[in-house]
Amino acid sequence: MVGPPIEDIHFDDAPHVGEFPGPKGRDLLERQEAIDSNAVAYPDHIPLVPDAAKGATIKDVDGNVFLDMFAGIGVLNVGHANPYVMEAVHEQADKLVHTVDFPSEPRLDLIEKLEARAPGDLAGNSKVVFGGPTGSDAIEAAIKLAKYNTGGHGLIAFRGSYHGATSGAMSITGKKDFKEPYAPLLGDVEFAPYPHPYAQDRPPEEAVARSLEEVRAIVEDPYSGLTNPAGIFVEPIQGEGGVVTPPEGFLAGLREIADDNDLPLVVDEIQAGLGRTGQWWASDHYDVTPDIVTTAKALGGVGFPLSATIYHEDLDTWGPGDHAGTYRGHVVAMRAGSRAIEYIEAHDLLAHARDLGAHVRERLRDVNAPLVGDVRGKGLFVGAEFTNPDGTPAADAVKAVQRYCYERGVLVWKAGPHGNVLRLLPPLVLTEAQADTALDVICEAIDHVTAERGATA
């Protein structure tokens, strides 16, 4: 067996919370507030000051121990400080760290692993380019590659999308208040509706048909307003948008439109990929082969910054230096990424994610709370949408659930345009016993918040 079993890689006493935040935590939070950037966001939601982490558990500076149900927002698929990965990290860090794009065994090994596991027909027919270290950088590379190969400049994206924080990535991101201060961004970007499985005004198949009709019109209608399109950019599951899991037929329909118009279909797997959904790539669930795939987050194994863009070999028209980045040779991250892939396969974590994810969703659906309007997702990519009795988003309820949970040692996150989706992205090494412990707290939190709102209604 490659590395220890998943049961053996966590702190044993999670969850265990006393005073939170404790005195050391408060001191460091105050120190951060005094000297760090105003752009810091996460401590505003959870006053966590981590000190150590193992598997699906985090210990803070005051000795509180938490079950981690968001894994650095989908980064730590094989858990914090996975021993099998860290063994290679220490070995590599003492030997060689940075190579730009000179060949190295870790670089070539990771490329070969990604190429062999690429979605659909990309496997055996793809190339991989590393650029900057973040998911945003992978998106920028995909935009450049699409433009370079088509000669076009217009981009098709989707409402509710999130692709990153750099200028190109923001241009195809749907969140207006996030990007408005930086306008103008890239011109000629059109947004189509993303089919929502919880659309209360139409059945899912109608939502798919409407979305595809709009995309086809944007591309083909001579009066659509978009000139010279270069590609279609889509998340196979919208993460920040609220774990929006599209109904069947959507990705296949996009593939057809792209083929009909000789456009690349670019699938953003930065959050959904590398096993998160119980397949290597979320697009595998829909039996659709993208032309270009972006990946980051979990690619660095245990949190090292690393991104890549995987694309069909026919699109490999760049010449030397046509895409570059100083950190495209982070061999420690590449070694870690290879080890993470090996650990996932050796421990059958794809099947584990599918089975445990189904269990998590079933338990959330069993909660007798009208606040929980919809539970969705694939694998260990889970969202529970909270709505008020009048159908409006219940963001305050999700915020209250999050607080109730972290005060009892379970870390959960939020998503959605209105912040009303409880988003669970635990490490794939989460055990069933840990999942049930966390769900006991989460379900208790939902019951508590429901009762509290009923008492104050």
Tens of pLDDT along 103-114?
Answer: 999 999 999 999
Residue 131 reports pLDDT greater than 90: no
In the prediction, which pLDDT does 215 show?
A: 98
> Rounded distance, CA 67 to CA 410, Å?
5
In the prediction, which pLDDT does 453 show?
A: 85
In the prediction, which pLDDT does 253 show?
A: 98
pLDDT tens for each residue of 274-285: 999 999 999 999
37-to-29, 42, 48, 176, 178 alpha-carbon distances in Å = 13, 12, 17, 22, 17
SS (H, E, C) the chain: CCCCCHHHCCCCCCCECCCCCCHHHHHHHHHHHHHCCCCCCHHHHCCCCEEEEEECEEEECCCCEEEECCHHHHCCCCCECCHHHHHHHHHHHCCCCECCCCCCHHHHHHHHHHHHHCCHHHCCCEEEEECCCCHHHHHHHHHHHHHHHHCCCEEEEECCCCCCCCHHHHHCCCCHHHHHHHCCCCCCEEEECCCCCCCCCCCHHHHHHHHHHHHHHHHHCCCCCCCCEEEEEECCCECCCCCECCCCCHHHHHHHHHHHCCCCEEEECCCCCCCCCCCCCHHHHHCCCCCEEEECHHHHCCCCCCCEEEEEHHHCCCCCCCCCCCCCCEHHHHHHHHHHHHHHHHCCHHHHHHHHHHHHHHHHHCCCCCCEEEEEEECCEEEEEEECCCCCECHHHHHHHHHHHHHCCEECEEECCCCCEEEECCCCCCCHHHHHHHHHHHHHHHHHHHHHHHHHC
| Backbone torsions φ then ψ of 312, nearest 5 degrees | -65, 140
Residue 457 reports pLDDT greater than 60: no
End-to-end CA distance of the chain: 55
Mean pLDDT for the stretch of residues 312-323: 97
Quick count: other Cβ atoms within 10 Å of Cβ 193?
A: 17
pLDDT tens for each residue of 392-409: 999 999 999 999 999 999
In the prediction, which pLDDT does 203 show?
A: 87
pLDDT tens for each residue of 142-180: 999 999 999 999 999 999 999 999 999 999 999 999 999
As a whole number, the mean pLDDT across the chain is: 96
> Rounded distance, CA 218 to CA 156, Å?
8
More confident residue, 94 or 454: 94
| Backbone torsions φ then ψ of 70, nearest 5 degrees | -135, -5
Beta strand 229-234 with 126-130 is unpaired
The percentage of the chain sitting over the pLDDT mark of 70, rounded to a whole number, equals: 99
Residue 456 reports pLDDT greater than 60: no
Q: Residue 424: CA atoms inside 13 Å, Cβ hemisphere, count?
A: 31
What is the domain class of 6-76+348-456 according to CATH?
alpha beta
Mean pLDDT for the stretch of residues 121-150: 96
In the prediction, which pLDDT does 222 show?
A: 94
Mean pLDDT for the stretch of residues 218-235: 96
In the prediction, which pLDDT does 199 show?
A: 72
| Backbone torsions φ then ψ of 363, nearest 5 degrees | -65, -40
In the prediction, which pLDDT does 455 show?
A: 61
> Rounded distance, CA 374 to CA 391, Å?
12
Q: Residue 367: CA atoms inside 13 Å, Cβ hemisphere, count?
A: 28
What residue ranges of the chain are covered by domains with CATH 3.40.640.10? 85-346
Mean pLDDT for the stretch of residues 305-318: 98
Mean pLDDT for the stretch of residues 62-81: 98
Residue 434 reports pLDDT greater than 90: yes
Mean pLDDT for the stretch of residues 48-53: 98
pLDDT tens for each residue of 325-379: 999 999 999 999 999 999 999 999 999 999 999 999 999 999 999 999 999 999 9
pLDDT tens for each residue of 16-33: 999 999 999 999 999 999
Q: Which two tokens stand for residue 429?
A: 């090494």
- Taking domain 85-346, whether its CATH number is 3.40.640.10 is answered by yes
More confident residue, 295 or 200: 295
> Rounded distance, CA 95 to CA 121, Å?
36
In the prediction, which pLDDT does 454 show?
A: 77
In the prediction, which pLDDT does 200 show?
A: 65
What residue ranges of the chain are covered by domains with CATH 3.90.1150.10? 6-76+348-456
In the prediction, which pLDDT does 201 show?
A: 67
Quick count: other Cβ atoms within 10 Å of Cβ 191?
A: 17
In the prediction, which pLDDT does 50 show?
A: 98
